[in-house]
C-alpha cells in the first residue's frame, strides 16, 4: 500500500507512521538511473548537493530539534523499545533558498552521551558523521512517498542507520520535486 503524498503523521493513526520502506535493490526497476545515482550513494549527501549546486549557496535550515518518541518504524529501525524518547531532528537542505531535500534523523538518548549534537544548529549532521573514522552505514532502504513531516512532494525517500562506536542515528532523507526541477532530473 503506497501512502498518499498528503497523509501526514497522525499519532491517532499508527499506520500513518509506518512508511513502506523496502530494500534499495527492490526499487531499482522503478527508479531512473539519474535518481539511482543520488538515492544509492553512500557518501555524504551534503557534499553531493553542494557539488551539484554548482555555486548555489547551500544551507541547512533547521525545522525542528527536540526530544520525543520516534515513530514506530523509526524505533524499530534503531532497535529501540517503543516508549523510549529519542533525539529528533528535522532539516531542509536548501540550495539558494530552495529546499532540495528534507531529512529527519532520530538517535536514542542512551547513544548520544558525550556527543553535543544538540548544538549542531544549522551545521550539517553529515559534516559531523563523515568525520568519524570508524563510521558504519547500514544498507539503504527506500520509499516512493513524500516526507510525512513536510508538505513538499518528492519522488524518493531513503533511510539508513549510521553507527560510530556506541553511537547510532537513523537518517531519513526525502528528495523533493524542487531538486528534480532544478537539476532536470526525471520524475522518479
Ligand atoms: C547525513 C548527512 O547529513 C545531512 C544533513 C542532515 C542534518 O543536518 O540534519 C541530515 C541528513 C543529511 O541529509 C549527509 O550529508 O549525508
125 is in an annotated binding site: yes
Per domain, the residue ranges of the chain are 20-183
Average predicted confidence (pLDDT) for the chain: 89
Higher pLDDT, 127 or 92: 92
pLDDT band at 155 (very low <50, low <70, confident <90, very high): very high
Q: Is 89 annotated as a binding residue?
A: yes
Average pLDDT over residues 148-161: 94
Q: Has residue 112 got a pLDDT over 80? A: no
129 touches ligand 1 (CB under 6 Å): yes
Residues 6 or more apart from 23 whose CB is under 8 A from it?
A: 139, 141, 142
Q: What angle do CA 140, 15, 90 make, to 5 degrees?
A: 55
- pLDDT tens for each residue of 68-105: 999 999 999 999 998 999 999 999 999 999 999 999 99
Residue 17 CA, ligand 1 centroid: distance in Å: 21
Atom index in ligand 1 nearest the CA of residue 48 equals 15
In terms of average pLDDT, the best of 15-24, 100-109, 115-124 is: 100-109
Q: Quote the ipTM score.
A: 0.89
Q: Which atom of ligand 1 is nearest to the CA of 120?
A: 8
- Buried (b) or exposed (e) across 78-100, using 16+ Cβ within 10 A? bebeeeeebbbbbbbbbbeeebb
Convert the pLDDT of each residue in 3-18 to its tens digit. Answer: 344 334 444 344 445 8
Which residue, judged by its Cα, is nearest atom 9 of ligand 1? Answer: 125
Residue 67 C-alpha from the chain's centroid:
17
Query: Is the CB of residue 163 less than 8 Å from the CB of residue 26?
Result: no
Pick from 116, 130, 123, 142: which is nearest to 39 by CA?
Answer: 142
Does residue 109 or residue 143 have the better pLDDT? 143
Which of 3.40.630.30, 3.30.2350.10, 3.90.1660.10, 3.40.1410.10 would CATH assign to domain 20-183? 3.40.1410.10
Residue 70 in contact with ligand 1 by CB distance below 6 A: no
> What is the per-residue pLDDT for 1?
37
Q: Does the beta carbon of 132 lie inside 6 Å of ligand 1?
A: no
Q: Please tell me the residue having the least CA distance from ligand 1 atom 3.
A: 126
- The reported pLDDT for the residue numbered 54 is 95
Q: Select from 40, 44, 45, 63 the residue to mutate for testing ligand 1; criterion: most ligand atoms less than 8 Å from CB.
A: 45
pLDDT band at 114 (very low <50, low <70, confident <90, very high): confident
> What are the phi and psi torsion angles at 61 (to 5°)?
-100, 115
pLDDT at 17: 58
The closest-lying atom of ligand 1 relative to the alpha carbon of residue 162 is 1
Point out which residues pair with 167 in neighbouring strands: 164
Find all residues with CB under 8 Å of 132, minimum gap 6, and list them. 164, 167
* Percentage of the chain exceeding pLDDT 70: 90
In angstroms, rounded to a whole number, what is the distance separating the alpha carbons of residues 55 and 74? 34
Is pLDDT above 50 for 2?
no
pLDDT of residue 118: 82
Is 91's C-beta closer than 6 angstroms to any atom of ligand 1? yes
Lowest mean pLDDT among 15-19, 41-45, 105-109, 143-147: 15-19
State the cell numbers at 157.
Answer: 525517500
Amino acid at each position: 500500500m503506497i501512502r498518499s503524498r498528503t497523509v501526514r503523521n497522525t499519532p491517532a493513526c499508527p499506520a500513518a507512521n509506518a512508511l513502506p520502506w523496502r530494500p534499495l535493490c527492490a526499487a531499482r526497476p522503478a527508479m531512473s538511473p539519474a535518481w539511482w545515482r543520488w538515492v544509492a550513494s553512500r557518501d555524504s549527501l551534503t557534499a553531493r548537493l553542494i557539488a551539484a549546486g554548482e555555486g548555489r549557496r547551500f544551507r541547512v535550515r533547521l525545522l525542528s530539534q527536540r526530544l520525543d518518541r520516534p515513530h514506530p518504524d523509526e524505533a524499530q529501525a534503531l532497535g529501540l523499545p517503543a516508549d523510549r524518547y529519542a533525539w529528533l531532528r528535522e532539516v531542509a537542505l536548501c540550495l539558494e533558498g530552495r529546499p532540495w531535500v528534507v531529512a529527519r534523523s532520530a538517535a536514542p538518548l542512551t547513544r548520544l552521551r558525550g556527543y553535543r549534537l544538540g548544538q549542531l544548529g544549522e551545521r550539517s549532521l553529515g559534516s559531523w558523521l563523515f568525520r568519524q573514522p570508524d563510521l558504519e552505514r547500514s544498507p539503504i532502504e527506500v520509499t516512493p512517498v513524500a516526507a510525512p513531516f513536510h508538505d513538499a512532494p518528492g519522488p524518493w525517500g531513503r533511510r539508513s542507520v549510521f553507527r560510530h562506536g556506541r553511537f547510532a542515528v537513523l537518517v531519513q532523507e526525502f528528495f523533493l520535486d524542487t531538486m528534480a526541477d532544478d537539476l532536470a532530473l526525471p520524475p522518479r
